[in-house]
Structure 1
Amino acid sequence: MSVTLGSEWPSQDELVIAVVTEILDHGAYVKLESHGGKKGYLPISEISQGWVTDIRRFINPGQRVVLRAIRVNPQKGQIDLSLKRVTPSERNAMLKAWKRRRKFSKIMEEFSNELKLQSEERNKILSILMSNPDPLGVLERAASEGPNALESLGMDSSIAQKLAEYTKRIVKVKEYSGKLEFQLQTSKKGGANLIMDALIELENFLNSKNVRNRVYVVAAPRYACEIVSEKPKSINTLLKEIPAKLKDIAARLGLKLTLDST
């Protein structure tokens, strides 16, 4: 099973992903990977803004390129393309998006094979996922948040559960981290135990927030806490809450707190 990405024919002015298959004196032929392997033609006049004497200075057979469709005629089987009308930022964004779509295609192919899905059920799942501009992003959320991320799109709960479990095994979810350093000091008797109690209380507070964390000694009286989460908002929120929590702990235990100014 393969997942077809994009419609069979590109629309005029649409950006496409293509592989150069043949170079001639007057232009080059390409295969549109983003549109089912359709054949397209890149005339020499559309390769560069300047004068082109040697096409191979710009493209070579087997090279993957981002092109813009400038003339499309399905009746004649004609797709004319341009390289010079694609900006560097458009090219980079398109290649990045294409890599994500290819990764999505591979994941869904392997998932369908593992579950031995029938065509009708497979296509229904793909229809739901590909209604989103970034279907891989949907799978990444499912790996992080569970089947609810799929069920909210209308996917059957049984399939959503299986797909979420599958993606969690193979999709690397991006994690975010934050760190805060601080000082705790006291001249009280048993001060070391008081500071240890403060660090344990801070660790318990972080554990209650469902984030991975580490509270440790940098070099007494300097300490630090690190937090890791798949949700950047959780990191930002906690980095604002931790100072207030430390102030509360220090005040109750009679410790002097100095927060990192950075």
Structure 2
Amino acid sequence: MSTISQPNSDCRMYEARFPEIDTPVMIQVKEIGDVATHVALLEYNNIEGMILLSDLSRRRIRSVGSLIKVGRIEPAMVLRVNAEKGYIDLSKKRLSEQDIQVCEERYSKSKLVHSIMRHVSETMSVDLEDLYIHVGWPLYRKYGHAYEAFKAIVNDPDSVLKPLTRELKEIGADGKEVIKAVPAISEDVKDALVRNIRRRMTPQPLKIRADIEMKCFEYDGVLHIKEAMRKAEAVSTKECPVKMKLVAAPAYVINTQTLDKEQGIKVLNQAIAACTNSIERHKGKLTIKEPPRAVSEREDKLLAEQMAYLDRQNAEVSGDEDSEAEEDTGMGSVDLESTSSSGIGD
């Protein structure tokens, strides 16, 4: 691919210069006037569009500020397109919930693709539109969305990128011009593109967690709880390893890490069922406080900090073996590696 000293790093995301009528697009509000709101179409290199105030809402407008704000990014429906004059009229009130969902999902994928393409353009000093013409837009046509092609590139870049070519004109030995097909991008640009795609799009494991309470008042209750925890962990699969930990009696967490959110939730529900069945056979009880769900890094960090704090508290009183209060703390020292029995769950 040819290089230029100051490559153009501005380009629309899609091959069409203008959106189609009755298509939802993502816009950013630039200015709110007396009769219309001026917006930029983010997927089309920020070309200008306009929303009449009468197209903001189906309901009577009491305050424009409650419906739209400068700087806000949101979907809008394309009503009219004048390609010659560059006029685009849009509407918010024509949007359905499905339109909003489709637009947000498409924009999220397109924004990631665009970010990768722009980074390659800037770091490799290649023209962004040229990169789209020979790589991005052909992949949109073939895969429906370049995002799907990029996902395939993570594991098998050659199968996606090798078929892409560009035409190169040369003067043959006889002095006549000949056209030959060459790779769409040079090896160094290809390597940069693959490297960036893998860095940004390699799937990261999700953390799935459920919060439960478990009690057992039967003799040897600690042992029965340990057995129930083992039953929960026995549900593990290679893709979804299950771990169960004590937080502070009677609170426990069951968690897994997986690339497949739905599969992770399914496995944790199976683990909870196995744990429930085991503890109830010994007249114990399991209560789900929070069902299986994906947790953020922040939630995971807060749990780790809570457990570390409780560990420090336990360490401070661990030397007080004769304390009656400690004897009645219940299941506070339960873990699957320990075989000692410290009490009965409260």
Q: Which residue of 2 aligns with 1:135?
A: 146
Choose which of 4, 11, 19 in structure 1 pairs with 2:12.
4
8 Å CA contact 1:47, 1:84 repeated in 2:
yes
2:102 partner SS: helix
| SS at structure 1 position matched to 2:69 | coil
| 1:100 CA drift (Å) | 1.4
Q: Corresponding residue for 2:36?
A: 27
How well do the aligned residues superpose, as a CA RMSD in angstroms? 3.7
Moved more, 59-68 or 88-97: 88-97
C-alpha deviation, 1:174, in angstroms:
5.3
Deviations along 1:169-219, whole A, 9 cap, x unmatched?
332325589xxxxxxxxxxxxxxxxxxxxxxxxxxxxxxxxxxxxxxxx64
Secondary structure at the aligned position of 2:238 is classed as: strand
Q: Please tell me the residue identity of whatever aligns with 2:13.
A: L
Q: Which residue of 2 aligns with 1:185?
A: none
Q: Which of 2, 15, 29 matches 2:24?
A: 15
Deviation at 1:104, TM superposition (A): 0.7
**TM-score, L = length of structure 2:** 0.48
Tell me which residue corresponds to 1:104. Answer: 113
The whole-number CA distance in structure 2 between the counterparts of 1:227 and 1:136 is 28
Task: Describe the SS at the equivalent of 1:173.
Answer: coil
- Do the aligned partners of 1:5 and 1:34 also contact (CA within 8 Å) in 2? yes
- Give the residue type in structure 1 aligned to 2:71: G
Unaligned ranges ≥5, structure 1: 178-217, 240-259
Q: Work out whether 1:169 is the aligned partner of 2:169.
A: no
Q: Which runs of 5+ in 2 are unaligned?
A: 1-8, 166-182, 208-228, 241-257, 268-273, 278-346
Q: Could you say what secondary structure the match of 2:77 adopts?
A: strand
TM-score by length of 1: 0.62
- The CA distance in 2 between the partners of 1:127 and 1:69, in whole Å, is 22
Flag the 1:114–1:92 CA change in 2: closer, same or farther, 3 A: same
| Higher Rg of the two aligned structures | 2
Cα distance, 1:162 vs. partner? Answer: 5.5
8 Å CA contact 2:10, 2:128 repeated in 1: no
How far does the alpha carbon of each residue in 1:31-56 deviate from its partner, in whole angstroms, 9 at most, with x for none?
A: 11122222211112111112113211
Q: In the TM superposition, what whole-angstrom CA distance separates every residue of 1:139-184 from its partner, at most 9, and x where no partner exists? A: 12211x222441465464956565334422332325589xxxxxxx
Alignment of 1:121-132 (within 5 A): 122=131, 123-131=133-141, 132=143
Q: Is the 8 A contact 2:120 2:192 kept in 1?
A: no
Aligned equivalents of 1:41 and 1:89: distance in 2?
22
